[in-house]
């Protein structure tokens, strides 16, 4: 590899990030670009206009976009992320991965470099589950992993996913068949904000992800009896809201205990009091439950403990309850070979880095599960904030991420032969356990 690396244009990166921010921008300076809405379509149109005319560009049957200046290459390293958002989310989630990937590829092309692993920009639809309750729709479709049940999922207006795709101008084909030629994809890389505060509390610009926590998710419904708030004595009430509150506190307690035993987080991020009012004892409450860990057996053990706590707490409050499983995924271990090369590329660019797990799911995990070696590179989330208008990172970290992608792409990578030595890497600042 040459000592003279092509130099990224961070001003160009920031211009694109800021212009995309305006598409779906909310009054609180957040972003709402849900899957298969006009806002998502517009941001894809913007990106297509930003692509150099020398790039070969194509779109698959569900709207995923791919672009490369090396379309005739026998094999290609795919790099990218997504452009949709949660409701009133931040300006970087997903978008940063797309724009840093484009910057790395464009910088290589402008420098007339001939990378041994010619990259392809990959931009996926519908990574967030905010609209249909289905995550990573675009990348799962590209890999032939989306099911008929997923395809039939509906949004809050009862619009099914397949219909939303058609309304957006796309006509999905055989879901069991990948929309990309996996035989020519040598690997997949994604840059993302950490969505936690580990990097922000360290001196490291980058995080090389070792594995991705996987969730099991439930919808919990607690049922009691509706009564008048003034006329019903306290000891005669079957208050679903009070009982649900006790259940949520029990979940938090078990989650904290489990966190001391191993890797686990348990979250109730919303609560709905059905037909609740200031002058009523609430008779029905529903809330979601999200349990995640990098250790599936440990997660399943704590899951059983939490479900038992729900049963006991509901009984104590004389309430009925229903538990509906809505998602179950397995943890994903990222390619050790790609993680090793990312660490080497970061070290070569004199960027501080560390190995760490990902708490959130990403398109990257689907590639790894499909047998395509995949790597995930984090930049800091300022104060650990994500999925929020306050989401931010640092310019130096963005530059380090782009430079790491460039160095990785210019490497002579032998993925099948590279192995860790005793699961450790000599890196910037000493040993980093994988």
Tens of pLDDT, residues 378-406: 999 999 999 999 999 999 999 999 999 99
- Look at residue 185 and tell me whether its pLDDT is greater than 50: yes
What pLDDT, on the 0 to 100 scale, is given for residue 428? 33
Q: Which long-range contacts (CB under 8 A, 24 or more apart) does 226-232 make?
A: 226/275, 226/280, 226/281, 226/282, 226/283, 226/284, 227/280, 227/281, 227/283, 228/279, 228/280, 228/281, 229/278, 229/279, 229/280, 229/281, 230/279, 232/281
The CB density around residue 316, as the number of other CB atoms within 10 Å, is 12
159 and 29 belong to one structural domain: yes
- Look at residue 356 and tell me whether its pLDDT is greater than 50: yes
252 and 349 belong to one structural domain: no
104 and 34 belong to one structural domain: yes
166 and 45 belong to one structural domain: yes
Looking at the structure of the chain, the number of domains it has is 2
Bridge partners, 154 (sequence order) = 160
145 and 224 belong to one structural domain: no
252 and 291 belong to one structural domain: yes
Task: Look at residues 259, 294, 328 and tell me which one is the last residue of a structural domain.
Answer: 328
259 and 340 belong to one structural domain: no
- Look at residue 434 and tell me whether its pLDDT is greater than 60: no
275 and 291 belong to one structural domain: yes
32 and 112 belong to one structural domain: yes
Look up tokens 């009133």; give the residue.
88
Residue 6 CA to residue 355 CA, distance in Å, equals 26
- Look at residue 318 and tell me whether its pLDDT is greater than 80: yes
Task: Look at residues 328, 348, 382 and tell me which one is the last residue of a structural domain.
Answer: 328
| Residue 133: CATH number of its domain | 3.40.630.10
What pLDDT, on the 0 to 100 scale, is given for residue 203? 84
What pLDDT, on the 0 to 100 scale, is given for residue 327? 85
246: three-class secondary structure by DSSP: helix
Q: Output the 3-class SS for 131-189.
A: CCCCCCHHHHHHCCCCCHHHHCCECCCCCEHHHHHHHCCCCCCCCCCCCCCHHHEEEEE
Domain that holds residue 359: 10-213+331-433
Judge whether 2 lies within some domain.
no
**Proportion of the chain above pLDDT 70, given as a percent:** 94
130 and 261 belong to one structural domain: no
Judge whether 4 lies within some domain.
no
Both tokens of residue 311?
A: 């049963």
Task: Look at residues 296, 328, 360 and tell me which one is the last residue of a structural domain.
Answer: 328
Q: Output the 3-class SS for 181-241.
A: CHHHEEEEEEEEECCCCCCCCCCCCEEEEEEECEEEEEEEEEECCCEECCCCCHHHCCCHH
pTM equals: 0.85
What pLDDT, on the 0 to 100 scale, is given for residue 3? 54
Judge whether 71 lies within some domain.
yes
Tens of pLDDT, residues 417-432: 333 333 333 333 333 3
47 and 156 belong to one structural domain: yes
Q: Do 331 and 212 contact (CB within 8 A), yes or no?
A: yes
Judge whether 318 lies within some domain.
yes
């Amino acid at each position: 590899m040459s000592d003279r690396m092509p130099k990224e244009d961070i001003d160009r990166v920031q211009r694109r990030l800021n212009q995309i921010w305006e598409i779906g921008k909310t009054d609180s300076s957040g972003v709402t670009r849900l899957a298969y809405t006009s806002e998502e379509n517009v941001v894809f149109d913007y990106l297509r206009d930003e692509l150099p005319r020398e790039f070969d560009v194509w779109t698959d049957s569900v709207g995923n976009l791919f672009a490369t200046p090396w379309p005739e290459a026998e094999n290609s390293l795919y790099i990218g992320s997504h452009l949709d958002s949660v409701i009133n989310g931040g300006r970087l989630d997903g978008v940063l991965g797309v724009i840093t990937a484009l910057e790395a590829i464009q910088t290589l092309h402008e420098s007339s470099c001939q990378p041994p692993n010619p990259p392809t920009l990959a931009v996926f639809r519908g990574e967030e589950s905010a609209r249909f309750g289905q995550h990573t729709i675009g990348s799962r479709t590209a890999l032939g992993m989306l099911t008929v049940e997923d395809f039939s999922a509906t949004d809050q207006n009862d619009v099914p996913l397949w219909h939303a795709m058609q309304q957006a101008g796309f006509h999905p084909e055989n879901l069991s068949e990948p929309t990309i030629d996996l035989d020519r994809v040598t690997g997949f890389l994604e840059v993302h904000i950490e969505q936690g505060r580990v990097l922000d509390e360290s001196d490291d610009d980058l995080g090389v992800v070792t594995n991705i926590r996987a969730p099991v998710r439930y919808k919990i419904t607690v049922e009691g009896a509706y009564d008048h708030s003034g006329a019903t004595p306290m000891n005669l009430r079957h208050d679903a809201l009070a009982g649900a509150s006790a259940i949520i506190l029990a979940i938090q307690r078990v989650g904290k205990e489990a966190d001391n035993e191993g890797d686990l987080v348990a979250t109730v991020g919303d609560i709905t009091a059905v037909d609740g009012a200031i002058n009523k004892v609430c008779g029905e409450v529903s809330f979601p439950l999200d349990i995640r860990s990098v250790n599936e057996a440990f997660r399943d053990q704590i899951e059983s403990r939490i479900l038992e706590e729900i049963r006991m707490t509901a009984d104590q409050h004389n309430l009925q309850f229903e538990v509906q499983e809505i998602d179950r995924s397995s943890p994903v271990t990222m390619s050790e070979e790609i993680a090793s090369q990312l660490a080497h590329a970061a070290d070569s660019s004199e960027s501080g880095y560390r190995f760490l797990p990902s708490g959130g799911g990403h398109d990257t995990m689907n590639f790894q599960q499909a047998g395509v070696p995949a790597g995930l590179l984090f930049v800091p989330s300022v104060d650990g904030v994500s999925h929020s208008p306050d989401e931010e990172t640092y310019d130096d970290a963005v530059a380090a991420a782009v430079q790491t992608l460039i160095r990785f792409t210019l490497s002579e990578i032998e993925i099948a032969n590279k192995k860790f030595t005793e699961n450790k890497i000599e890196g910037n600042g000493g040993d980093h356990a994988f």
